[in-house]
Amino acid sequence: MTAVTLYVQFDGVPVSEVVAGWEANFDAHLLIAQGKSLDEVEQAAQAWMLGHFKHPTGELETAWEKTATPLEGVLTNTKEYGRRRNYGFSGMTDRLGRFYPLDPGIEWAEHAVEMAQPYVDAIFLSEITQALGG
């Protein structure tokens, strides 16, 4: 059997050199997109909370922690009652012994993601286009 060696170049640059830095470049752009997207979701959450809470204090609305990798972005509300305001706390007792017979969730997180989705889509499209050299 005869061995065949194929050399491919793009504009005079070997393919091996073209793809060598591609993954790192792509990951860098995805990480930028994650950060910008988390900012958009945070702003949407704050806007929704301030517009819908009966007595917003600013504590819940400004208590955020962000972590991101190229493939995952996580926005966490760090207040203990952030989850209960989102999902509800009906029929439960808090650590101070107060019972909440009717405390439905208001789904602030779901509303924030819905509000931010068009911006997040545009951010990722822009960063991926840049990563691909567009």
Identity of the amino acid at 12:
G
What is the average per-residue pLDDT within 89-105? 92
Domain that holds residue 101: 9-131
Least confident residue range of 2-16, 21-35, 39-53, 67-81: 2-16
Read off the pLDDT of residues 121-132 as tens digits, 9 standing for 90 and up. 999 999 999 998
Q: 43 near 61, Cβ under 8 Å?
A: no
In a domain, 116, yes or no: yes
In a domain, 3, yes or no: no
Helix/strand/coil for 5 = coil
In a domain, 53, yes or no: yes
Read off the pLDDT of residues 8-41 as tens digits, 9 standing for 90 and up. 666 777 767 767 778 889 999 999 999 999 999 9
In a domain, 17, yes or no: yes
Q: Which residue has the higher pLDDT, 49 or 133?
A: 49
In a domain, 4, yes or no: no
In a domain, 48, yes or no: yes
In a domain, 71, yes or no: yes
Q: How far apart are the first and last CA of the chain?
A: 42
CA 4 distance to own-chain centroid: 47
In a domain, 1, yes or no: no
Residue 65 has pLDDT above 80, yes or no: yes
Number of domains the chain contains: 1
